[in-house]
Amino acid sequence: MDRCVTRVELSVSCRSLLDRDVSSRSDPLCVLLQDAGGGRWAELDRTERIKNCQDPEFCKKLVVDYYFEKVQKLKFGVYDIDNKSFDLNDDDYLGGVECTLGQVVSSSVFTRPLELKQGKPAGKGTITISAEEIKDTRVVYLEVEARNLDKKDFLGKSDPFLEFYKQNDVGTWQLVYRSEVIKNNLNPCWRKFSVPLQTFCGGDFDKPIKVQCADHDSDGSHDLIGTFETNLAQLQKAGDGSPVEFECIHPEKKQKKKSYKNSGIIKIKSCKIETEYSFLDYVMGGCQINFTVGVDFTGSNGDPKSPDSLHYISPDGINEYLVAIWSVGSVVQDYDTDKLFPAFGFGAQVPPNWQVSHEFALNFNPSNPYCQGIQGIVDAYRQILPQIRLYGPTNFSPIINHVARFAAHSAQQGTASQYFVLLIITDGEITDLDQTRQAIVNASKLPMSIIIVGVGEADFKAMEFLDGDNSVLKSLTGEPAARDIVQFVPFRQFKNAPREALSQMVLAEVPKQLMSYYKWQGWPPVKLPEIKKM
């Protein structure tokens, strides 16, 4: 097991990016990839997309684990994003740079020219990366509103947004947060937001903070409304019904007009600092991760005796279903002390009366569907295959609701003691999409995550829709999911990759999903880490 020395937060900005859009400027996003060996690169993180901007300063920080003992090869790629798909292959490449994490952390500011490919510069484009070690787990929560802002638009009111900057040790300003835009409003109230304390001010409560309010223009030429300087010590005075107010000053207007007062008032309604617990804090604090498997036995998989069936077990004893069970299960089983995993099938006719079932125990024991370890699931799968008839329809909601009942029971205890992960392996031909949407929206309020691995060559549009990466999943009645709990991965992308690549991809979201649930509930780890008890 590698010992992670520390986590590092990378701030990225670019200058003079290529212009790929015909009628406007590029809409850049930066993706961070790490060398995964064998010529493959694995995505670690990505920034937000900034519209109409050739000199972007990205607000979202890229977080990476830093190992002193490893050469960690990184690639930063900048893309012009013109669609909603997560896949970057259909977007214009604006250039990139390859380096090591060691090079970045050993430079206070790391600037390099962007290249379209080795030796071919991307115009005059450059990328600047600065690194900061994450030492502090506290988070700043802020609620901000404004009144009487200057009107900047000729035909309407202003479209204000806020930017918070911290002052670096070298005296320059670095963006730490950018708010949403509130359209046509001179008295806006922005969404409550949070920024890690480390990002916000490096843990220094007296470090200067600059707040800038601007009028958003769709062509990227935003107009300054006004600005002020403060620090966290001052901001912290807000709360319990007594806000802190600052005059928003436009420097040029102040110089020109003697009668100038301000360009509006920015009001900090509340400023709270809370501790953020990590995934390991919860696991080491006693949280058990309960793993359940659901296997698709519908007719669209093909006859298991036929070599072109997805359930056909090859002479070397495997198929895509088994590889998926092994890959994901072998990682998750380490976080469950009893190693007993419930495993179910759905969409088959089962003996003795050959009724179609949408949640039958793989071991044919409904009162005790638990298998001993991942090997137990594999053995049960192999034994049941010749005893059932593949049928249909493909209904996901019964098995999601089954796990949700256990998660709901656990949630009633009001402690961060149990979290549930459901792995569904399917050929993707879902029948009960509406009921499944409702089941996922309900489950999003519970301590559970759903991983869907799509096997075979089907069109997985419905699975990608359930994943909700591009937009918030809603039930048929319009109720949004409380949090994103579904991760979908098509197996075919990993056919020739090492087995651990699949598990890394599908399990990458689980720690964030677990933390987001307990944070939402306000539940600390069952046993608090020693250092954070203060």
487 and 390 together in one domain: yes
Would residue 296 count as lying in a domain?
yes
Would residue 37 count as lying in a domain?
yes
202 and 166 together in one domain: yes
pLDDT tier, 470 (very low <50, low <70, confident <90, very high otherwise):
low
pLDDT tier, 88 (very low <50, low <70, confident <90, very high otherwise):
confident
Q: What is the 3 state secondary structure string of 269-285?
A: EEEEEEECCCHHHHHHC
Given 105, 134, 163, which residue is the final one in a domain? Answer: 134
Residue with tokens 């470090």: 207
At 532 the pLDDT is 46
Q: pLDDT tens digit string along 503-515?
A: 878 887 888 899 9
Residue 337: CATH number of its domain = 3.40.50.410
Name the amino acid, one letter, at 194.
S
316 and 458 together in one domain: yes
223 and 330 together in one domain: no
Distance of CA 489 to the CA centre of its chain: 15
> Is 419 within 8 Å of 512 (Cβ atoms)?
no
492 and 442 together in one domain: yes
Q: Quick one: which H or E segment has residue 507?
A: helix 499-507
Would residue 81 count as lying in a domain?
yes
299 and 434 together in one domain: yes
Would residue 369 count as lying in a domain?
yes
At 396 the pLDDT is 96
Distance of CA 344 to the CA centre of its chain: 28
479 and 427 together in one domain: yes
Would residue 469 count as lying in a domain?
yes
Would residue 73 count as lying in a domain?
yes
162 and 202 together in one domain: yes
Residue 43: CATH number of its domain = 2.60.40.150
Residue-range definition of the domain harbouring residue 157: 138-275
Q: Which residues contact 231 (CB under 8 A, 6 or more apart)?
A: 201, 205, 206, 207, 208, 209
Is the confidence at residue 116, as pLDDT, over 70? yes
83 and 222 together in one domain: no
482 and 381 together in one domain: yes
Q: Quick one: which H or E segment has residue 173?
A: strand 173-178
Q: pLDDT tens digit string along 282-335?
A: 887 889 899 999 999 999 999 999 999 999 999 999 999 999 999 888 888 877
250 and 182 together in one domain: yes
Task: Count the domains in the chain.
Answer: 3
Given 119, 134, 149, which residue is the final one in a domain? Answer: 134
Would residue 510 count as lying in a domain?
no
Q: Which residues contact 27 (CB under 8 A, 6 or more apart)?
A: 21, 49, 50, 51, 52, 53, 80, 81, 82
Would residue 281 count as lying in a domain?
no
490 and 442 together in one domain: yes
